């Protein structure tokens, strides 16, 4: 049973993250500092460290929260034919991004910087590991439904889809591609990767979807 103290701690944590998300959306990751964040959330800097951690860990917490939201939204739309899961996943993510483009763009750029500068020990890895786990779950579902042969390890398929997703996300964050192009490229990445291990009927369906895209 939750105690009053634990409930209050959770409320403070949620308030900190809500303020951090607002700052990230409006001003970017560079503008996010713990002293200002503490003032906005009505807490002390040590409280942020105790409940979440440093600035990079605040970003990680925000990103992990978006993955939780994504999976919650996905579950609401199930059941879905297994063959339609890639499109459902792409559209669910697209809907979330459309709802707060400034946040997702800033978060993607912050994650990219974390990876390229190596300033966050394992920080970017948390995001990548979570994405790969979601794609691995997709491959497992398709395998259980008899749509994949299992000749290619699902971790290999998930890794390829993760790489594709990261490139597309960065291109969108840099304004190189539009959201419509984001969706199209995401689905192409899904279909091409899955086709490598698809049973004949599913392979034909994926090829048909690629021709139509």
Question: Is residue 143 reached through a cis peptide bond, with omega within 30 degrees of 0 on the bond before it?
Answer: no
Number of other CB atoms surrounding residue 59 within 10 Å: 27
Rg, C-alpha atoms of the chain: 19
Comparing CA positions, the residue from 80, 108, 103 lying closest to residue 92 is 80
- Residue 4: the pLDDT is 84
Is residue 120 over pLDDT 80?
Answer: no
Q: Taking the alpha carbons of 131, 108, 67, 59 in that order, is the dihedral positive or negative?
A: positive
Residues 141-187: pLDDT tens digits?
A: 999 999 999 999 999 999 999 999 999 999 999 999 999 999 999 99
Confidence band of 118 (pLDDT split at 50, 70, 90):
low
Per-residue tokens: 25: 């959306």
Whether 213 and 184 have beta carbons less than 8 Å apart is answered as yes
- Residue 111: the pLDDT is 82
Residues 60-73: pLDDT tens digits?
A: 899 999 999 999 99
């Amino acid at each position: 049973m939750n105690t009053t103290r634990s409930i209050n701690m959770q409320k403070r944590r949620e308030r900190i993250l809500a303020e951090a998300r607002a700052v990230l959306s409006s001003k970017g990751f560079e503008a996010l500092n713990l002293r200002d964040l503490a003032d906005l959330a009505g807490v002390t800097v040590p409280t942020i460290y105790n409940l979440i951690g440093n600035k990079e860990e605040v970003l990680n917490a925000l990103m992990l929260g978006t993955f939780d939201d994504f999976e919650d939204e996905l579950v609401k739309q199930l059941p879905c034919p297994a063959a339609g899961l890639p499109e459902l996943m792409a559209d669910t993510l697209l809907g979330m991004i459309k709802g707060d483009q400034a946040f997702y763009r800033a978060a993607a750029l912050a994650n990219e910087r974390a990876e390229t500068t190596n300033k966050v020990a394992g920080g970017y890895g948390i995001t990548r590991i979570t994405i790969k786990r979601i794609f691995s779950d997709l491959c497992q579902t398709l395998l259980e439904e008899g749509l994949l042969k299992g000749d290619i390890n699902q971790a290999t398929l998930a890794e390829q889809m993760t790489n594709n997703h990261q490139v597309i996300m960065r291109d969108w964050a840099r304004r190189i591609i539009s959201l419509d192009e984001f969706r199209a490229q995401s689905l192409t990445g899904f279909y091409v990767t899955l086709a490598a291990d698809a049973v004949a009927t599913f392979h034909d369906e994926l090829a048909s979807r690629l021709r139509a895209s």
